[in-house]
């Protein structure tokens, strides 16, 4: 699996949907990514994509009369005060939405069908263990992100050797799977 921000990895475990962690409204997560991949590879664009993906899915309503929205209203155009769910949104690459604007919009995201707002202003929510039903200790960042399947499959990559051909010159094992090397 790979995302659009250099985050790639292998599928470590495949679970049935009922064993996956779920949100308070019962929505299960599809995929769990290791959080260490963000600071180690400095690909923070995936965090931005997750938050913007959640906003595009949920939509938002900014109340101009709320004093908590004063800073957000300084930069947000008036036609973006109320955006319906499942809207197509985009932000320019280098001159797009700031962290404060995204946090403000997440705090004003629309509720789900049950009337519950699922994420806080930091883009995190409490997830529940799919097996025990107990909530996890810390909130988790959730959202929507584009993932694609790479064509590197384990069945084609796996290779092992106990004995095999050696190089005539160096007397070392040949390299590579095609030469039955090691």
| Residue 32, in any domain of the structure | yes
How far apart CA 65 and CA 70 sit, in angstroms, is: 8
- With a CB cutoff of 8 Å and minimum separation 6, the contacts of 39 are none
How far apart CA 117 and CA 181 sit, in angstroms, is: 57
Tens digits of residue pLDDT in 93-123: 778 888 888 899 999 998 888 888 888 888 8
| Residue 12, in any domain of the structure | no
99-107 vs 45-58: helix crossing angle, rounded to 10: 30
How far apart CA 181 and CA 61 sit, in angstroms, is: 61
| Residue 111, in any domain of the structure | yes
pTM of the model: 0.78
| Residue 7, in any domain of the structure | no
| Residue 164, in any domain of the structure | no
Query: What pLDDT is recorded for position 15?
Result: 92
For residue 113, the domain's CATH number is 2.40.270.10
| Residue 165, in any domain of the structure | no
- Among 39-48, 76-85, 117-126, 129-138, the range with the most confident prediction by mean pLDDT is 129-138
Total domain count, the chain? 1
- With a CB cutoff of 8 Å and minimum separation 6, the contacts of 148 are 1, 2, 3
Tens digits of residue pLDDT in 138-171: 999 999 999 888 887 776 777 677 777 877 788 7
For 32-64, the three-class secondary structure string (H helix, E strand, C coil) is CCCCCHHHHHCCCHHHHHHHHHHHHHHCEECCC
Residue 17: which pLDDT band, with cuts at 50, 70 and 90?
very high
Tens digits of residue pLDDT in 22-70: 999 899 999 988 888 788 778 888 888 899 999 999 999 999 999 988 8
Q: Provide the residue range defining the domain that includes 39.
A: 17-150
| Residue 156, in any domain of the structure | no
How far apart CA 146 and CA 31 sit, in angstroms, is: 11
| Residue 73, in any domain of the structure | yes
Question: Average per-residue pLDDT in the chain?
Answer: 86
How far apart CA 31 and CA 145 sit, in angstroms, is: 10
């Amino acid at each position: 699996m790979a995302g659009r921000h250099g985050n790639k990895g292998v599928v470590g475990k495949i679970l049935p949907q009922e064993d996956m962690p779920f949100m308070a409204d019962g929505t299960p997560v599809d995929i769990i990514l290791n959080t260490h991949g963000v600071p180690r590879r400095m690909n923070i664009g995936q965090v931005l994509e997750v938050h913007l993906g959640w906003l595009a899915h949920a939509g938002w309503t900014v109340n101009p009369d709320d004093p908590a929205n004063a800073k957000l209203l300084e930069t947000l155009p008036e036609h973006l005060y109320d955006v319906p769910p499942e809207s197509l949104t985009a932000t320019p690459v280098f001159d797009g939405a700031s962290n404060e604007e995204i946090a403000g919009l997440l705090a004003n995201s629309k509720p789900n069908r049950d009337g519950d707002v699922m994420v806080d202003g930091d883009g995190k929510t409490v997830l529940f263990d799919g097996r025990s039903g107990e909530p996890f200790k810390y909130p988790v960042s959730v959202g929507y992100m584009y993932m694609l399947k790479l064509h590197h499959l384990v069945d084609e990559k796996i290779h092992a050797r106990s004995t095999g051909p050696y190089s005539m010159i160096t007397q070392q094992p040949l390299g590579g799977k095609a030469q039955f090397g090691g």
